[in-house]
Amino acid sequence: MELADAKGGTITNGLLANELIAGQLQIGNDAFQSQAPPVISIAGDPDNPGPTYATLATKAENLLAPTSSHIGMTVSATVSAAGDVSETAPTSSADVRKVANADTIISVYDSVTQHNVPAAFAAYRAKIGMGVIGYAKSEPFVATFKIAGVQRQVVVQVFERRILTYNAANSDAFKVEMGNIGQHYYSWRYGAASNRPPGAIPTVGP
């Protein structure tokens, strides 16, 4: 958590995704320590090969670049486990973008960060709150992860504070989920075997 407004007392979730992908560990209000982005899968079971935070920061970094509004278009980027990015149109009837067409259509453009947000994530963020999710940090993309031991094609997007996934195989209430970014961040910051107590250092920032 962080104190976003020292005078007003506004509390928001920390900018964990920003830190993990940029490789900049925040140690104070305006102080950062360089630390390589972790080779941890951004979603799915712990033994997934990827995509990882490290590959998003390197091979797939184009997804982080600001872009123009694509409202009304479907998610087009696909990222492999190794981080290779391709632009593909949904062809198979099993493609998550075919199964859940309306949910994967771009409905919001975050002009602050210049990224597009599909309908399912925009609705979820509106319900949960901007202070929990943040602005979009990447373009949305399709990737395949092992989830509970089963390979699933999902839509993924990095936001400032969380990473969201859309799994059409889930029931409606759980189609959109937040990844285990808190656990990933703890492992990256303190080490998996650390006995140091969890909890982000309070900061004043955006």
Q: Answer for the pair 61, 52: CB distance below 8 angstroms, yes or no.
A: no
Return the H-helix or E-strand segment holding 186: helix 181-190
What pLDDT does residue 32 have?
81
Phi, psi of 92 (to 5 degrees): -70, 145
Does residue 96 register a pLDDT over 90? no
203 is a domain residue: no
199 is a domain residue: no
Domain limits for position 127: 2-190
100 is a domain residue: yes
pLDDT band for position 193 (cuts 50, 70, 90): very low
**Each residue's pLDDT tens digit, 21-59:** 988 888 777 888 888 999 999 999 989 888 999 999 999
Please report, for residues 58, 102, 115, 181, the alpha-carbon distance to residue 44 in angstroms, rounded to integers and kept in the order given: 20, 23, 24, 11
91 is a domain residue: yes
User: What does the pLDDT average to over 149-176?
Assistant: 93
Instruction: Look up the pTM and report it.
Output: 0.81
pLDDT band for position 182 (cuts 50, 70, 90): confident
pLDDT band for position 174 (cuts 50, 70, 90): very high
User: What does the pLDDT average to over 72-98?
Assistant: 86
113 is a domain residue: yes
pLDDT band for position 143 (cuts 50, 70, 90): very high
Neighbours of 180 (CB within 10 A): 17
**Each residue's pLDDT tens digit, 5-14:** 444 444 445 7
What pLDDT does residue 26 have?
82
pLDDT band for position 171 (cuts 50, 70, 90): very high
What pLDDT does residue 13 have?
55
What pLDDT does residue 28 have?
78
More confident residue, 200 or 84: 84
Does residue 206 register a pLDDT over 70? no
Rounded Cα–Cα distance for residues 52 and 202 (Å): 26
**Domain total of the chain:** 1
202 is a domain residue: no
> Taken in order 178, 183, 189, 191, is the CA torsion positive or negative?
negative
